[in-house]
């Protein structure tokens, strides 16, 4: 494996062996309270994320708190009280590791992206909204706070924002969107009522049903996580015995995908157009043993393996069936990996948090010491914007364009686009900050941006 550092900047070295203390947690988010409640793998201690600043702390009794500039800043929350079954890997107390080799190249051009225009997509009646996905028709999904202070999922389509909340629902979130405009939706009727999954199809809303489970709260009945071009929806649903099992829903029928032998919990986290799905299979709700990355391929479940015998989690799959995710390493870290026909490949020494994605060319993005692009065995450090300290990658399109954020010393997020070696800053809506979430094949980008009066609005960046 080779490394390309920021051109003109040598790879960073530490005085001794690099160490990165990590904690893997499972979380459930409440938009109403703006709190993410988390359970570490290693113990039953609970943690919380409150929408206010930006640092993990470790108070007494093993509790954890994470605060952020606003509810949408980190890009880790996808649903109202949605079980984030994917393990979030949070690297705390990290000391930089030596990275080999120390390649140098000519300096890239860091500049403001004059060719891109930031378009305010508006809100559903309040001061906060966020865009989280875009398709090739430039339709956009996201969530917005309403005038009644609830969060509702929306579909924005060429100037019109549609509330996707089913009848009787008090809160919802748009989870995934395909190129025909179908949306997988999660919704609740009250804060203490188990949530359900729905398919929104051009104004028609269909309840996905369940695998027989009925709750109780806080266990949601059905949690969709993915939708493909054929309109198949996948995710996790409660069974009659109260365990969450991976499912695929296809034209009105929900199929239980099961779990590995000895496991009681599973969930799909990504799906491709061919109907191949990846995710996790775990012992009882993560607590009593590590989860395993799994592939479901036309009725066959495969344990994808691990670097060390510890935890693995599959997060993405491309059209060719190549899978990306995270794996525990022999030295106790968590690292990004690729599974393909040749086996499992280590992509980077460690992963800063659990977001990792792959495009149809097999290029992989994530965040280690900084945002990276892995391309056929070469690990490329994407660098940072001028005046910032750290970058994080969030999405990649089929052309290899990458979007993410570059953080200032005080933690403020500045949106960037990286394209063929050049990182450019995306303009804000008049305020200081922004964060892109997704980019389509045409290079249209969506996320959030701060307005001149300090509001957070869903944003489309386009040329």
- Examine residue 427 and state whether it is found in any structural domain, yes or no: no
Quick one: average pLDDT of 422-431? 96
Look at residue 69 and tell me if it is in a domain.
Answer: yes
Per-residue pLDDT at 354: 79
More confident residue, 258 or 42: 258
For the chain, give the percent of residues with pLDDT over 90.
Answer: 67
Please, which pLDDT band fits residue 18 given cuts at 50, 70 and 90?
very low
Bigger pLDDT: 13 vs 321: 321
pLDDT score at 462:
96
Cα–Cα distance, 179 to 48 (Å, whole number): 35
Q: How many CB atoms lie within 10 A of CB 275?
A: 16
Lowest mean pLDDT among 119-123, 218-222, 303-307, 316-320: 218-222
pTM of the model: 0.79
In a domain, 79, yes or no: yes
CB distance 391 to 382 below 8 Å? yes
Binned at pLDDT 50, 70 and 90, residue 217 comes out as: low
Instruction: Tell me the mean pLDDT in the region 68-85.
Output: 32
* Residue 80 belongs to some domain of the structure: yes
Confidence class for position 114, pLDDT limits 50, 70, 90: low
H or E stretch covering 171: strand 171-177
pLDDT tier for residue 289 given thresholds of 50, 70 and 90: low
Distance between the two ends of the chain, CA-based, in angstroms? 36
CB 7 within 8 A of CB 105: yes
319 assigned to some structural domain: no
Has residue 367 been placed in a domain?
A: no
Residue 34 within any structural domain of the chain: yes
pLDDT for 80 beyond 50: no
What percent of the chain is modeled with pLDDT above 70?
74
Close Cβ partners of 140 (under 8 Å, ≥ 6 residues apart)? 121, 131, 133, 134, 155, 156, 157, 177, 446, 458, 460
**Per-residue pLDDT band at 413 (split at 50, 70, 90):** very high
pLDDT at 448 over 70: yes
Tell me what the pLDDT averaged over the chain comes to. 79
Per the CB < 8 A criterion, the answer to whether 413 and 435 are in contact is yes
Where does the pLDDT of residue 82 fall: very low under 50, low under 70, confident under 90, or very high at 90 and above? very low
Pairing of strands 390-396, 378-381: unpaired
- The residue among 37 and 152 whose pLDDT is bigger is 152
Which region among 87-101, 121-135, 252-266, 286-300 has the lowest average model confidence (pLDDT)?
87-101
pLDDT for residue 302 is more than 70: yes
Picking from 67-81, 193-207, 413-427, which range would have the lowest pLDDT averaged per residue?
67-81
Question: Does some domain include residue 313?
Answer: no
pLDDT of residue 349: 94
pLDDT at site 214: 87
Are residues 69 and 412 in contact, defined by beta-carbon separation less than 8 angstroms? yes
Please state the rounded mean pLDDT for residues 147-167.
97
The Cα–Cα gap between 253 and 368 comes to: 40
CB-based contacts of 255, cutoff 8 Å, min separation 6: 247, 248, 249
Pick from 98, 277, 227: nearest CA to 293: 277
In this prediction, residues 250-276 reach a mean pLDDT of 96
Q: What is the mean pLDDT of residues 53-72?
A: 32
User: Domain range holding 43?
Assistant: 22-92
- Which is nearest to 313 in space by CA: 297, 302, 328? 328
- What is the mean pLDDT of the segment spanning 21-30? 36
CA distances from 207 to 194, 197, 221, 233 (A): 14, 6, 11, 11
Single out the residue of 39, 295, 31 nearest to residue 186, CA to CA.
Answer: 31
Overall average pLDDT of the 34-40 stretch: 35
Higher pLDDT, 269 or 73: 269
Least confident interval from 30-34, 124-128, 206-210, 403-407: 30-34
Angle subtended at Cα 181 by Cα 30 and Cα 74, rounded to the nearest 5 degrees: 35
Number of domains in the chain: 1
For residues 89-103, average pLDDT: 32
Least confident piece of the model among 39-48, 130-139, 327-336, 341-350: 39-48
Peptide bond into 202 cis (omega under 30): no
Q: Quick check: 98 pLDDT over 60?
A: no
Higher pLDDT, 188 or 102: 188
């Amino acid at each position: 494996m080779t490394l390309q550092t920021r051109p003109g900047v040598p790879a960073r070295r530490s005085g001794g062996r690099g160490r990165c203390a990590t904690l893997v947690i499972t979380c459930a988010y409440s938009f109403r309270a703006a709190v993410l409640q988390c359970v570490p793998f290693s113990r039953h201690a609970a943690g919380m994320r409150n929408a206010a600043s930006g640092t993990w702390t470790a108070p007494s009794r093993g509790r954890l708190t994470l605060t952020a500039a606003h509810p949408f800043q980190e890009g880790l929350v996808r649903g109202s009280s949605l079980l984030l079954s994917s393990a979030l890997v949070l690297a705390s107390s990290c000391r930089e590791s030596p990275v080999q080799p120390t390649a140098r190249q000519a300096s890239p051009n860091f500049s403001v992206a004059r060719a891109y225009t930031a378009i305010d997509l508006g809100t559903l009646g309040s001061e906060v909204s966020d865009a989280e996905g875009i398709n090739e028709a430039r339709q956009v999904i996201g969530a917005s706070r309403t005038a009644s202070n609830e969060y509702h999922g929306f579909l924005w389509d060429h100037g019109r924002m549609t509330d996707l909340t089913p009848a009787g629902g008090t809160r919802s979130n748009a989870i995934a969107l395909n190129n025909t405009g179908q949306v997988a939706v999660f919704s609740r009727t009250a804060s203490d009522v188990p949530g359900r999954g729905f398919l929104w199809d051009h104004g028609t809303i269909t309840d996905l049903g369940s695998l027989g489970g009925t709750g109780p709260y806080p266990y949601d009945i059905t949690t969709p996580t993915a939708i493909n071009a054929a309109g198949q929806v996948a995710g996790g649903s409660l069974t009659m015995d109260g365990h969450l099992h991976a499912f695929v829903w296809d034209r009105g029928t929900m199929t239980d995908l099961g779990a590995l032998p000895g496991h009681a919990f599973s969930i799909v986290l990504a799906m491709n157009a061919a109907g191949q799905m990846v995710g996790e299979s775990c012992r009882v709700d993560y607590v009593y043993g590590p989860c395993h990355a799994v592939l479901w391929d036309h009725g066959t479940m495969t344990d994808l393996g691990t670097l060390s015998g510890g935890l693995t989690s599959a997060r993405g799959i491309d059209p060719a069936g190549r899978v990306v995710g995270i794996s525990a390493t022999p030295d106790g870290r968590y690292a990004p990996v690729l599974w393909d026909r040749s086996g499992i490949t280590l992509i980077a020494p460690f992963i800063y948090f659990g977001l990792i994605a792959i495009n149809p060319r097999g290029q992989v993005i994530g965040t280690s010491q900084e945002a990276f692009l892995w391309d056929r065995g070469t690990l490329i450090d994407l660098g940072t914007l001028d005046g910032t300290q750290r970058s994080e990658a969030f999405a990649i399109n089929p052309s290899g364009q990458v979007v993410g954020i570059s953080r200032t010393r005080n933690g403020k997020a500045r949106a960037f686009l990286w394209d063929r070696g050049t990182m450019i800053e995306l303009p804000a809506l008049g305020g200081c900050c922004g964060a892109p979430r997704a980019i389509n094949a045409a290079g249209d980008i969506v996320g959030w941006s701060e307005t001149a009066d300090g509001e957070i609005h869903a944003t489309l960046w386009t040329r």
